[in-house]
Structure 1
Amino acid sequence: MQILRIDSASTGESSVSRELTQAILDHFRAAHPEATVIERDLVADPLPHIDEARTGAIRQPPEAHDAAMAEAFPAERAVLDEFLASDIVIVGAPMYNFTIPSQLKSWIDRLGVPRVTFAYEDGAPKGLAGGRRVIVASARGGAYEMGGPAEHQDSYLRDFFAFIGLPDVEFIRAEKTGFGPDVRAQAIEDAKAAIAEL
């Protein structure tokens, strides 16, 4: 078994999503002590935003690569292979300005690969990346209804993962963390209680 932990919060030790991804990882390590764990910190080791060469490396078959795409391909494909080799994927997703951090979007941009994680059949998309469990640690300073008018974080992640064949993403949420220390502490406690039920 392989567990992949993704962190994207830029707030360091004060990050709620990082505290939750650690708690989720600890939960699954206790259940699966034999598991291989891979931790990817997208702030300490950011992925570049995709450009022409990286886009081609990700989306075009190797025989269509030019020199720049061929050079980019190994690192780009390694991110995808790391995801596809994982049985459990833990994604730390704080809300920044109503959506996810750009560094998390850069990671996601490596996962949406035609003919690998999705395809089109009879005019409709078909996800090809099923077979793994995805748990999102969602942290928000305010209170938002999923899919509501100012919520483009959890709904985006739900829609993306469903598109590539993972419609049953699980969300652990800590909301209202900006409402003061007592509310924040309660939100984290409630989220950790939910983690214990995973």
Structure 2
Amino acid sequence: MATLLHLDSSVSPTSASASRSVTETFRKAWEEQHPEGTVIYRDLSAEPVPHITADAHSAGFADPATHTPEQAAAFAERVRLIEELEQADAVLIGAPMYNFTIPSTLKAWLDNVILMGRTAGETPSAKGTPVTVVASRGGSYAPGTPRESFEYVQNYLTAVLAGGLGLDLDFIVPELTMAPYNPAMAELVPLFEASRERALQEAATKAKALAERLAA
């Protein structure tokens, strides 16, 4: 049975969140293909994982036999998150852009699961696992736009997820999500609506194709 690890990090509920509505569409399409499968869901906004601490960080570079009680407890939490990643057949991440980058809750999860010599390094333990990131943003940071140079979500996650963890990375990018709420962006509402519909269609199509690929 296939296992999907689904992470959301938007602070908004699904009704008001572009990234959550798209990940929900992806997940439902996935579940239709894998009705007997498993979905491990983490809402990183509602239940944040611990930010990395000195004990959690240093324990990753030390022999477990030498861990202090504090290091052992902190490292056990990291291992739990790492094992969820390693055991997943596919990963789905909602990553809205906040102040030009990812939410701190998602960064905390990454800091916990990136472990040199295990998930990162010469032979990453989850290498090749497909990961779909829904990278929503209030404006547009696409190539050729005035704010292209401020795009630190896709650039960063490509470096970390593909370059660092060796995952098979794909993006869905709903943009201009602030257009319905910002009067200065009113003329961009049709472009936002088109982007939203395209993202929802991509989510359903890509989830189905990925599920079929893993089942083959």
TM-score by length of 1: 0.89
Q: 1:59 Cα deviation (Å)?
A: 4.1
Matched, 1:154 2:157: no
Q: 1:69 Cα deviation (Å)?
A: 0.3
Q: Structure 1, residues 96-151: CA drift from partner, whole Å, max 9, x if none?
A: 0000000000001112101101225xxxxx54421311000111000013694101
Matched, 1:164 2:160: no
* Equivalent position of 1:194 in the other structure: 202
* Equivalent position of 1:4 in the other structure: 5
* Equivalent position of 1:142 in the other structure: 139
Conserved? CA contact 1:93–1:104, under 8 Å? yes
> What are the ranges of 5 or more consecutive residues in structure 2 without an aligned counterpart?
181-188, 207-216
Give the Cα–Cα distance (whole angstroms) in 2 for the partners of residues 4 and 143 of structure 1.
28
* Equivalent position of 1:123 in the other structure: none
* Equivalent position of 2:213 in the other structure: none
Where do residues 34-183 of structure 1 align in structure 2 (5 Å cutoff)? 34-120=36-122, 127-145=124-142, 148-162=148-162, 163-166=164-167, 168-180=168-180, 182-183=190-191
Percent identity, aligned pairs only, is 35
More helix by share: 2
Q: How many residues align?
A: 192
Q: 1:11 Cα deviation (Å)?
A: 1.6
* Equivalent position of 1:185 in the other structure: 193
Q: SS where residue 99 of structure 1 aligns?
A: coil
* Equivalent position of 1:15 in the other structure: 17
Q: Structure 1, residues 71-109: CA drift from partner, whole Å, max 9, x if none?
A: 222222101111111001000000000000000000011
Q: 1:191 Cα deviation (Å)?
A: 0.3
Q: SS where residue 191 of structure 1 aligns?
A: helix
Q: SS where residue 94 of structure 1 aligns?
A: coil
Q: 1:35 Cα deviation (Å)?
A: 1.0
> What are the ranges of 5 or more consecutive residues in structure 1 without an aligned counterpart?
121-125
Q: CA RMSD in A?
A: 1.8
